[in-house]
Structures are given as structure tokens and as C-alpha cells.
Amino acid sequence: MNIQIFDDVRTLSAELATRVLTEVRLQPSLVLGLPTGRTPLPFYQALRAAPAADWSLVRTFNLDEFAGVSPGSPASYRAYMQRELFGPMGVADENVGFLNGTAADLDAECARYERAIAAAGGIDLMILGIGANGHIGFNEPGPDLHARTHRAQLQPGTRASNAALFGGDVSRVPESALSMGMATILQSKAVVLIATGAAKAGVVRAMMNGRITTSVPASFLQLHPCVTVMLDREAASRR
């Protein structure tokens, strides 16, 4: 893993925005994998503030979406992405790949997503956050992991950390979600994982230096040949 440590979140986010924009300029039809959550918010802000780039050919696939939450709901990850990135950067709907948590058949929806990613030629650059429990996407720790896009049961801590999207009421956070699987993520050509804040320091250490284990799904990134881990000083404090 290539480790980069930054003085603060702002510098980290600006550097990642520069990397993404450089790749968009070099490869206008770049296929990006994208996360939601709190960590990438300053990165999306940095992209919005950056000099204009042509996003008309860029295609995106987000990692996950809540089951039972429609794309039009303000609590959906689809709505988050529209607010934070797709709307401001002018990413057209037809270039946005997203899981639909209200599809009639969720298993068929997961299979459709895998086909769509394959048809796009796979993901060129996957950007990930990491859960405090070591999840990537919604691949939660457990006795086993899923290779492909699947329906995932969310752990209590994961639901709690998403409560803000549901008016702070954790009981309204769905108990399940749809998520890319581990192989879907690991088949990306390049991966950048971002982690900020002291609360992530322990899991960052386990991910980078611990055993590869389903108890820390992010530890499987040790097997990928092209991973960059971008950390602020606090997240890097227990390496």
C-alpha cells in the first residue's frame, strides 16, 4: 500500500481532487467508483471549487444504497451524490450508475449493477472510505464476505453513523442496504482509501498492518496491487 499522510483534511481533500481531475483530463471517459459518508464531503467540496473540467464522459458507480429508500428521498445516497457532486459538476443521469434500494427485486437489482459495471469496462479508480468497524462499502465484518453486489445487513454502529441522514433518528435508518461486494471493489484498476480523524486510527492500523481477515473487510485491500491510503495525522496516529 502506498501511504500518504497529510497535515489536515483540507490538504488531503485538495490532493485527492487534483488526482481525480488529472485522471479525468488524461482519460475523459474515466469510470469512477465513489463513496458517501462524512469523510468524502471535503473532497467533493474541493472538486466543486476546482477549475472546471469536462465531466461529460465520466461515468460513476457508487458503492452502496439503503434498501427501501427511494432515489428521490433526501435520505438516499443517490440524493447525497446529486447534492454534493453530480448536480454541481453536471454529471448527466445516464452516466451515473446507482443501486436502486426500492427496486421490485433487490437480487435482480444487484445482478443488474454487476452487469452495468462490467459493461462499462470495470472501475478505473475506486475511492473508498472506511467504517470504524473496518467495513468498505457495506461489506460488514463477519464470518464471511460477499464477492459480488448483494443485500447487506447493517450493524448497529453503521446504522448509528448514518442517523444524520434520517433526522438523527437511528430507528429510521434501514436495517439493510445494497452494496458492491469485495470482488467488485478489488477488481477496480486502482483504489484510493481516505480516512480522517482519531476515531479511524485503530481500524486504519488493523487494515494496513493486521492479518487479512473477514473481521476487518478493508484488510483485503492488502491483496490489491494499486492501493493508495490517504490519511490525516489523526487517522495515521496509531500506524
Known catalytic residues? Answer: 64, 133, 135, 140
We find the least distance from the C-beta atom of residue 51 to ligand F6R, in angstroms, to be: 26
Q: Which of 17, 20, 32, 64 binds ligand F6R (CB under 6 A)?
A: 64
DSSP 18-29: HHHHHHHHH-TT
Count of residues in contact with ligand F6R, rule CB under 6 A: 14
Cα 222 off chain centre by: 17
**Of 25-33, 36-44, 104-112, 114-122: span binding ligand F6R (CB under 6 A):** 36-44
We find the least distance from the C-beta atom of residue 20 to ligand F6R, in angstroms, to be: 16
Q: Is 83 in the site for ligand F6R (CB under 6 A)?
A: no
Cα 219 off chain centre by: 15
Q: Is 137 in the site for ligand F6R (CB under 6 A)?
A: yes
We find the least distance from the C-beta atom of residue 3 to ligand F6R, in angstroms, to be: 18
Q: Is 217 in the site for ligand F6R (CB under 6 A)?
A: no
Q: Is 39 in the site for ligand F6R (CB under 6 A)?
A: yes
For ligand F6R, the binding residues in 174-203 under the rule CB under 6 A are none
CB atoms within 10 A of CB 1: 14
DSSP 80-103: HHIIIIIHHHT--GGGEE---TT-
| 101 neighbors 76 (Cβ within 8 angstroms) | yes
Q: Which of 14, 136, 185, 236 binds ligand F6R (CB under 6 A)?
A: 136
Torsions phi, psi for 125 (to 5 deg):
-135, 115
- Of 27 and 153, nearer to ligand F6R (C-beta) is 153
Residue with cell 451524490: 81
Residues sharing a CB contact under 8 Å with residue 234, sequence separation 6 or more, in sequence order: 196, 197, 198, 200, 201
User: All 3 cell numbers of residue 78?
Assistant: 443517490
Residues that bind ligand F6R (CB under 6 A): 35-39, 63-64, 129-131, 135-137, 161
